[in-house]
């Protein structure tokens, strides 16, 4: 057995297996995150629609939270506070296109592709955001999404920071330290 471990061929082979496992783990995490954010989009859309049509007000979010927590006790994210965040996130990205429907302005710079062709996904159902925005926001964790929309009021700055988070693998702590600088750079490049 120890002869196998000493073998260069074996060590190289096992390293390649480990890399493949790690790559699969990352792909699985991205897929789970994408699906969760599609669920969050749907929930945000439903919350807004029900509040407008049923005139239930914010009180129903408390009841919704209680009902979902009872039904899915093992899941996180159904607190009253998080349901408000879901509503805020939906409104933010939903309004992004209503302000100015210019999908070409949201595309990456010419010659630069942020999302590989194999990772692209159609826009979320009934999503009025540009095709690139859902793909990008679904690649970063929920905590990053919330931090970005709370720190930035302009969807263009927010989308730019989503791209920066993806390209630079920023943690939330790193993002908080850099978001102002990144937003300032955006203004410099646009001006």
Give the model's confidence band at 179: pLDDT under 50 very low, under 70 low, under 90 confident, else very high: low
Better-predicted residue by pLDDT, 150 or 186: 150
- pLDDT for position 30: 84
**Spatial CB neighbours of 13, under 8 Å, sequence gap ≥ 6:** none
**Number of Cβ within a 10 Å radius of residue 16:** 10
Domain ranges across the chain: 2-190
Q: Are 162 and 136 in contact (CB under 8 A)?
A: yes
Q: Are 149 and 158 in contact (CB under 8 A)?
A: yes
Q: What is the pLDDT of residues 59-93, one digit of tens each?
A: 899 999 999 999 999 999 999 999 999 999 999 98
- 4-9 mean pLDDT: 84
The position carrying tokens 């920071």 is 161
Better-predicted residue by pLDDT, 83 or 114: 83
Rounded Cα distance between 150 and 144, Å, is: 10
- pLDDT for position 169: 79
Better-predicted residue by pLDDT, 130 or 4: 4
Instruction: Tell whether the model's pLDDT for residue 46 goes beyond 90.
Output: yes
**Number of Cβ within a 10 Å radius of residue 18:** 10
76-85: Cβ within 8 A, 24+ apart: 77/40, 77/142, 83/43, 83/47, 84/58, 85/146
Mean per-residue pLDDT of the chain? 77
């Amino acid at each position: 057995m120890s002869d196998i471990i000493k073998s260069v061929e074996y060590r190289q082979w096992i390293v390649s297996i480990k890399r493949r496992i790690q790559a699969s783990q990352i792909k699985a995490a991205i897929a789970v995150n994408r699906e969760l954010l599609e669920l969050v989009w749907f929930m945000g859309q439903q919350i807004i629609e029900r509040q407008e049509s049923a005139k239930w007000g914010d009180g129903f979010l408390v009841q919704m939270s209680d009902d979902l927590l009872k039904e899915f006790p093992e899941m996180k994210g159904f607190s009253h506070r998080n349901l408000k965040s879901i509503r805020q996130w939906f409104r933010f990205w939903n309004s992004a296109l209503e302000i100015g429907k210019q999908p070409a302005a949201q595309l990456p710079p010419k010659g630069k592709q942020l999302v590989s062709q194999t990772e692209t996904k159609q826009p979320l159902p009934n999503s009025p955001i540009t095709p690139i925005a859902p793909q990008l926001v679904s690649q970063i964790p929920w905590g990053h999404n919330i931090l970005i929309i709370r720190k930035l009021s302009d969807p263009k700055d927010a989308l730019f920071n989503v791209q920066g988070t993806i390209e630079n693998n920023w943690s939330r702590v790193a993002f908080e330290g850099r978001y102002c600088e990144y937003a300032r750079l955006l203004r410099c490049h646009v001006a």
